[in-house]
Structure 1
């Protein structure tokens, strides 16, 4: 458990109530304390922006401290283990409040990977446990895609593509949520890190076999990373973390794309898939915003150049914007909306569940 101090509230005037944001994902658990205040109210009106102008997203209160756990919350037969989450969350929250001199917290928002399909235990236990320990009766339980959306765009209409090992697109017109993909590496996640890595390894094995569509450059990189190609199935198939292993090869595809047409075509197809997911969920109307978030986009120009072109073709009326923050920022945005009665994001079972409103 590692505390990290933050810069405090950025608003001006009298501070508002304290809120907690929780981000539970595959890489660990983060818990943030923030104070709402003027200038950070997440329910503000959408900004007026000239056509084509890029705007920053955001609107969340800034964390005054973040506590980080490096191990993810485990899952069991009932889904995400609420007991194990509470074992970390409650002492950390009490410590955050004590160090900040805060008497109470007005709202808590928990974003968790798998909330939609594995969150029954959390929904059954967290609201009562948080009320009993912290005295809070305003609780939001959100899918990690929702907190990624809120972190990237705040409470504005638009679409967010969250991409790393997998990929999911989430859009809202503030009346309902729409999602595309996020089906995992066997059934979907098209254009994701796992998809790119798998396509790159397939091209490597095609070159090894002498089949059309192979890439000698990718074969050389596969041998350098994984060893002799004949042993690749045995090293890959038994792994429980196959998507992550596949995704680990995606940067190799990007590195080869400058001089290898096969690698370049893989990234072009990935960009097309990602843009198709964004187009499927983008709400109607001109000037809707699109934000990209997640580790896949750190791949940089080899992916972003074809992706910009695909987005311009498939969503010519939408406007790309920079993501304002990450899923922990999104959890604080939702919590602040609950605390100040300004939550505009739609409540929907499995996506964004609220209690005490």
Structure 2
């Protein structure tokens, strides 16, 4: 086993990897396609491996070195039934662990300190560390969870656009724009939604925030509901002495002004991102293995 560790952040949009030495110094990075194990297990595994091999090549190493490293892979859905175990058993590393994306986000943002992390990208998930004990909220996938995620924002936009089209709720500039995109044909929207993946819905998230910033009533309603959902999840984890809350992911900054002062007053800049957290956990795994072999 080499003295190398690979951390992998398997996101719904892309899979990022970084290879580091046993001291945590990153020497190579790689990137591949999405790793949403709940919706596409087979391709997620392929992208996890490809990102790791690219990181090794970036470090000047042969891709075949993948079989001699320790690795930690953080993915959404690792806590759902046996998805995480199935990925872990198929990994080509000398030592590999699959954990939730919430755990690597927590480690990256807080290091070994206490606090709460909420991560918002294609999906959403929360995790807290209090006196060394971990507790998570969410991460149940787009169909029944991932409130305030990019995928849910896009899905909510489509739902409200159809309600406006049917005259159930008022229309607005954003619902009219969406209907125009689909030729004012609600059947085309229904057809899209039937086969769309979370990333397909998530591409509408920036549009929702742009219209909300301009005061569009429907967009404001979508973002306000999402901010309320964030508050509810944070409340499930928050304790009086909680030192900080870190928001991560592509939508984190967009949500900050929509949160109540109760949460904004506790916001802190993360020490690092989810990939950094995965690397730190992989280095710990590597060093535990090396000590055990000594």
Aligned to 1:167: 124
Mapped partners of 1:272, 1:109: distance in 2: 33
Matches within 5 A, 1:147-296: 147-211=104-168, 213-241=169-197, 243-257=198-212, 258-282=214-238, 284-296=239-251
Tell me what 1:47 maps to.
none
Partner residue in 2 for 1:114: 77
Shift of 1:329: 0.9
* Bigger radius of gyration among the two: 1
Over the aligned positions, Cα root-mean-square deviation in angstroms equals 3.6
Secondary structure in structure 1 of the residue aligned to 2:31: strand
Alpha-carbon shift at residue 170 of structure 1 (Å): 1.2
Change (3 A) 1:19 1:309: same
Correspondence 1:1-357 to 2 at 5 A? 18-35=4-21, 37=23, 61-70=24-33, 72=35, 84=46, 88=50, 95=57, 99=61, 107-117=70-80, 118-124=83-89, 126=91, 130-131=93-94, 139-211=96-168, 213-241=169-197, 243-257=198-212, 258-282=214-238, 284-298=239-253, 300=254, 303-309=255-261, 311-312=263-264, 319-339=266-286
**Contact preservation (8 Å) 1:140, 1:334:** no
Runs of 4+ in 1 over 6 A off after TM superposition: 73-77
* Cα distance, 1:106–1:174 mapped onto 2, change above 3 Å: farther
Q: Which has the higher helix share?
A: 2
Query: CA 1:82 to 1:228, structure 2 compared with 1: closer, same or farther past 3 Å?
Result: closer
Structure 2: state its 5+ residue gaps. none
Gaps of 5+ in 1: 1-16, 38-60, 132-136, 342-354
SS of 2:6's equivalent in the other structure is: strand
How many pairs align? Answer: 283
SS of equivalent to 2:251: helix
Decide whether the 8 Å contact of 2:8 with 2:52 is kept in 1: no
Taking structure 1 as the reference length, the TM-score comes to 0.66
Any conservation in 2 of the 1:80–1:114 contact (CA below 8 Å)? no
Q: 1:290 to 1:176 in 2, by over 3 A?
A: same
Show CA shifts across 1:21-75 (max 9, x none): 22333334333122354xxxxxxxxxxxxxxxxxxxxxxx452211223364878
Shift of 1:286: 1.6
Q: Distance in 1 between matches of 2:150 and 2:19?
A: 32
